[in-house]
Chains A and B, each alone.
Chain A
Amino acid sequence: KQEVTQIPAALSVPEGENLVLNCSFTDSAIYNLQWFRQDPGKGLTSLLLIQSSQREQTSGRLNASLDKSSGRSTLYIAASQPGDSATYLCAVSGSGSRLTFGEGTQLTVNP
């Protein structure tokens, strides 16, 4: 059974800092990996989708990398802003059209 772990569970940084969020998964036989953002009381918003054949994806200040062989992905946020404060979740896809989600990293960016 696929298991997805996100460390740390919570992170607090000052504005302007570059930061890295980690996601690890136990079964490397994945089709893709997605990073989502969730604001309090809201749904999930897709940030980046990395197909299994890709190594990384970039969108603005966000860069996500994927290393299937080691079962790891990282989300790099450059020049963090208070508006980046949210919970970030990663999810990996496997058989049966299923995504397995991590529990997320709660990020706080302090002005």
Chain B
Amino acid sequence: NAGVTQTPKFQVLKTGQSMTLQCAQDMNHNSMYWYRQDPGMGLRLIYYSASEGTTDKGEVPNGYNVSRLNKREFSLRLESAAPSQTSVYFCASSDGTAITGELFFGEGSRLTVL
């Protein structure tokens, strides 16, 4: 049972380059989330999607865009990467919303922006 799958696991970018982080879940969950984890800051919500076709900003959305391609897939795009976006990115999903449902996380994508 794969759960939540993220790709790539590691990526190094130069300032100004763009990239997309991919996330897919096979649990038929309605809600999907993108978080970033930084030392001393904890996990912070970037964007979330409560259902297919909808997306909403989280706590730190600036510099990012998202696409809920279908019920399974939720991608995160960095249009012009900055060193401040060096972080570990986690995708998560839940049945229902974070208010009611248990959250399942992917293994993370470690991004370094030089």
Partner-B contacts on A (CB < 8 A): 4, 31-32, 34, 36, 41-46, 49, 51, 89, 91, 93-94, 96-99, 101-104
Contacts and interface: CB of A to CB of B under 8 A. Distances in A.
A34 B103 contact: yes
B108 A97 contact: no
| Size band of the interface chain B makes with A | 20 to 34
Contacts of B43: 44, 89, 91, 99, 101
Nearest to B45: A98
Contacts of A51: 100
B59 A98 contact: yes
Contacts of B104: 46
23 contacts: A31-B100, A32-B99, A32-B100, A36-B103, A43-B4, A43-B90, A43-B105, A43-B106, A44-B90, A44-B92, A44-B105, A46-B103, A46-B104, A49-B102, A51-B100, A91-B43, A97-B50, A97-B56, A98-B45, A98-B59, A99-B98, A101-B44, A104-B42
Contact of A46 (B40, B42, B50, B102): B102
Interface in B52-73: 56, 58-59
B83 to A, nearest CB: 22
B90 A98 contact: no
Contacts of A103: 40-42
